[in-house]
Structure 1
Amino acid sequence: MNTPICCEFYDQLMVAIQRKIPSTIVYLENEQSTTIKDVVTELMMIEYEEFLMLKGGKKINLQTIFSFNGKRHKER
């Protein structure tokens, strides 16, 4: 079951997308904490799950994100 994403997080993502801000994202990938720096280009739904699309082509499920630009969104 997915945990709801808070509105403040969405607002932060939308600002980063609109202003093309290079962002640092810490998320869970293959059961390990991973950090990536890239520009978020859009948010999209894929089979009822929300994803960030990065300029480099990577997709990151919002449910796996621990922090975005230094702001913590969930515990590891």
Structure 2
Amino acid sequence: MYNPISTEFFDQLTVAMQRKIPSKIEYYQNEEQEKKKEKQQTKALVKTMEVINGFEFVVLDTQEKIRLSLVVTFNGKRHRED
């Protein structure tokens, strides 16, 4: 089921993108990792956000694309329960 991101999370992403703030993101790479509780971490600049196949993604300067609904924490702020 699709759950849109909160406006607070969207605002945090926008500020990080505009101010070029290096951001630490803890996330699940995919739904399989989510089931196994296998989190990933990365630190990068947020370049943009885009919608792919109906899902919202953040695109980093490392060329990584992370589905926003799978982000657990962004710069230390929790955005979903494990």
Deviation at 1:47, TM superposition (A): 1.0
- Please identify which structure carries the higher helix content: 2
Alignment length (residue pairs): 76
1:7, CA displacement in angstroms?
A: 0.3
Q: Which residue of 1 aligns with 2:47?
A: 41
Q: Distance in 2 between matches of 1:35 and 1:2?
A: 23
Identity fraction in percent: 46
Task: Provide the TM-score with structure 2 as the length reference.
Answer: 0.89
Report Cα offsets for 1:19-39 as digits up to 9, x if no partner: 010000000125110110000
Match of 1:74 among 51, 67, 80: 80
Unaligned runs of 5+ residues in structure 2 are: none
More strand, by proportion: 1
